[in-house]
Chain A
Amino acid sequence: MPPKSKPKEKIEEIQETLRDIKTREGIIGYILRSPNSASIDLKDPTKIIDHAILSATALEAGQNIANTFEIGKVDAIILEGRDMKILSMIIGDNRLSIFMEKNVDHDKLCEDLNLR
């Protein structure tokens, strides 16, 4: 069994996977926020603030709803719109949101991030 990744290694792993994910068709970009920094890679940089606000709202509201229904730790929050969707996750101290076109398979992204 491989040794468990340290938090720093884990985040580097995620960043590497994200760089690969970003090149795929239908991926609009991502925001990865850790306690002291943030990595943002979006196709349209003029929308960074809008994306960041929506990502934070989805994570907070998703967490609140999960607490209301007592479903334990949140693995993933998926927000589907008519034009696009967002996959948000809390990984340790990091908050990740991947923005994509609605036809992208978000389950595959979770698998690639080793979260399922």
Chain B
Amino acid sequence: MSKNAYADVLKNALTEIKKICPDVSCSFIFRRDGMVVAGDSETAEETIEKTMRSFQSIAEKEDMIGGLKALIIDGEKGKIHISCVNNMYLALAASKNADATFLQAIMHVIVPTVLKLLESTAPTPLQFAPSKQLIVDTLSGLFVGDSVQIDLEVLKQWSELLNRKSVGEIEIETFSGKTTKCSAREINDPKLKGKGIIRIPERICKVLEVKKGEVVRVKPTEI
């Protein structure tokens, strides 16, 4: 089963859950590394992005509580549940009076069962390209070419995770939604290594409408 089919099945499952439980206003599944696996058809990308960023700030400190299993936010007008399901996280937003038993059933029975079924139909574990948020630094000059420069560590991490010899092409996405694919190589300036930056040729910066210091999302392209 391809990654897209896997995500489509999950998206359909989440959309159906929302239909049968109108108290659920939003649901999506994401991975620890910030990769969105699937979301129902109505949840805005910006909502998912903001939630994941906040969640990750807690997840970074999970060692203190022996790993993060769940985050529940009880508000005046609704509640948010983010639960660990099969090494991923399921986020559910529901109205204040949503049936707690039903929410528990979604989180601990329905979604895990769908994931288990999907895993049994996919012979090998599905690998999603983990995206990274990097700070833009511009590359200028006559001989900069069309390649962007990223830390070797990041490129190595991706190739190990994706079981590839190397990662030569990446996709850059800006927060305004502009994307482009380009080749990538290691940062050659030792002073700039390990700083979480991506050096992008000025020409590509213009295409993406990004400036030095802005944050972009970067991931390896799919084969």
Contacts and interface: CB of A to CB of B under 8 A. Distances in A.
Size bin of chain B's contact surface: 20 to 34
B79 interface: yes
B80 interface: yes
Interface string B33-59: 000000000000001001100110110
Contacts of A73: 75-76
A81 B65 contact: yes
A40 interface: no
Nearest to B82: A65
B179 to A, nearest CB: 23
B93 A71 contact: yes
B221 to A, nearest CB: 29
Contact of A82 (B66, B73, B93): B66
Please provide the 6 A-B residue pairs with the shortest distance between their CB atoms, ordered closest to farther. Answer: A81-B65, A71-B75, A83-B66, A72-B76, A71-B78, A82-B66
Contacts of B73: 62, 65-66, 71, 74, 76-78
A65 B68 contact: no
Size bin of chain A's contact surface: 20 to 34
A68 B51 contact: yes
A80 interface: yes
A50 interface: yes
Nearest to A70: B77
Interface stretch (A3-11, A12-20, A31-39, A53-61): A53-61
A69 B78 contact: yes
Interface of A: 47, 50-51, 53-54, 57-58, 60-62, 64-66, 68-86
A79 B80 contact: no
A68 B54 contact: yes
A61 B55 contact: yes
Nearest to B93: A69
Contacts of B71: 58, 61-62, 65, 77-80
Contacts of A68: 47, 50-51, 54
A53 B60 CA distance: 11
B64 interface: yes
A33 B35 CA distance: 35
Nearest to B50: A68
Nearest to A65: B54
A33 B69 CA distance: 26
Contacts of B105: none
A64 B74 CA distance: 13
Interface in B74-125: 74-80, 93, 96
Contact of A78 (B51, B57, B72): B72
Contacts of A50: 61, 64
Contact of B57 (A60, A85, A86): A60
Contacts of B153: none
Contacts of B144: none
Q: Which one of A58, A62, A70, A71 has the highest number of Cβ atoms from chain B below 10 Å of its Cβ?
A: A71
